[in-house]
Structure 1
Amino acid sequence: MLKKTLLSMFATALLSGVAFNALADDPNQGSGKITFKGEVIDAPCSIAPGDEDQTINLGEVADTVLKSGQKSLPVDVTIHLQDCILSDGTNTVDKVKITFSSASVDATDSNLLKNTLEGNIGGATDVGVRLVKSDNTNP
């Protein structure tokens, strides 16, 4: 009985292999789509993939910390650059300049990004986001 069962299992496995092999030769096994995204830019460096669109978590800040003119603790932002050509053929450059722009700049302080939720339910008023250098000065 054991011999017949093993022989039956072997025959089933062998036939399954033939069936799978027949399916593998079928050119219409499904289809898919691959989309490539990129951009050619006129710049000395490019931003490394994954760093071009970031969400920076500022955490929760107590309103008592943000009294007039006060700041929360800074949060580091890292942008990796790659493929930098830091020479104009004559001079070697050791720094790059990064510019940030926004349509939502505070009317009285151009270094302060306005809170776009201000005035909405749950949006804090009289607060903004300031990008500063590592020494905590304005760029």
Structure 2
Amino acid sequence: MFAKKLMAVSLISLGMVSSVCVAADQGHGQATMVGSIVSTQASCSISPESADQTIALGQISDTTLLEANGSGKSTPRNFAINLENCEVGAGSSVNVTFSGMEGKDGRLGITGTANGASVAFTDGSGDVLSLGKPSKSFKLSEGNNTLQFSTYLQGDGEPGNIKPGDYQAVADFTLSYQ
């Protein structure tokens, strides 16, 4: 009987001690640094907010895309590629080439449940850019530079193929200094 009471008191004491040893979480976290080192031929660094962007084109009515015999365009959305710490010298200008899954007429193809449209890019002058082909050259100045672009959704010219739904399109961009 005494042994049972001693064991019960020991277990209760052990439980009290172990609960004191486990401290409540006072907060914790993690910091992860990512990036890349680019070639010495690069005259500038790409700012972190420009390296991975999401451009929301919005909810576009299929009637907008049906205009112009199925080649209607959504409202263009501006975006920029910001360059930092540019050292102008040998590479005093840069052009940009967009690449990705090709859609209609050199535009960027879409995936998802939507169909019958593709994504177009324009440079700061409004000139349409084709996937895989470099833009006109942008003149660089010392320090920071901003390269302006726009993007929009455009019907593929086949009204019967435009299908409402969600879509996504992913483009990579490559800089080439001259």
**TM value normalised by structure 2:** 0.49
Deviations 1:35-69 (A, max 9, x none): 33221112221211222111101011110010222
Equivalent residue letter for 2:58? G
Residue in 2 aligned with 1:99?
Answer: 97
Paired residue for 1:138, among 128, 142, 153?
128
In 1, distance between residues paired with 2:126 and 2:102?
19
Q: Which has the higher helix share?
A: 2
CA separation of 1:32 and 1:85: change in aligned 2, threshold 3 A:
same
Tell me the equivalent position of 1:115. 110
- Of the three residues 83, 86, 95, the one matched with 1:84 is 86
- The one-letter code of the counterpart of 2:62 is D
Displacement of 1:34 in angstroms is: 4.4
CA distance in 2, matches of 1:60, 1:34: 35
Higher strand fraction (1 or 2): 2
Distance 1:41 1:87 in 2: 17
Which residues of structure 2 form unaligned runs of 5+? 1-27, 130-178
Residues 21-100 of structure 1: pairs in structure 2 closer than 5 A: 34-42=31-39, 43-67=42-66, 68-88=70-90, 93=92, 95-100=93-98
Q: Which amino acid aligns with 1:46?
A: S
Instruction: Report sequence identity in percent.
Output: 33
Question: Which residue identity is paired with 2:97?
Answer: T
> Aligned to 1:109, what secondary structure does the other structure show?
helix
Q: Which amino acid aligns with 1:116?
A: T
Residues 114 and 33 of structure 1: CA distance in aligned 2, closer, same or farther (over 3 Å): closer
Which of the pair has the greater relative contact order for Cα pairs under 8 Å at 6+ separation? Answer: 2
CA 1:40 to 1:62, structure 2 compared with 1: closer, same or farther past 3 Å?
same
Residue-pair matches, total: 99
Larger radius of gyration: 1
What do residues 94-125 of structure 1 show as CA deviations (whole Å, max 9, x unaligned)?
x42122111x111x412x111111xxxxx221
Letter paired with 1:55: T
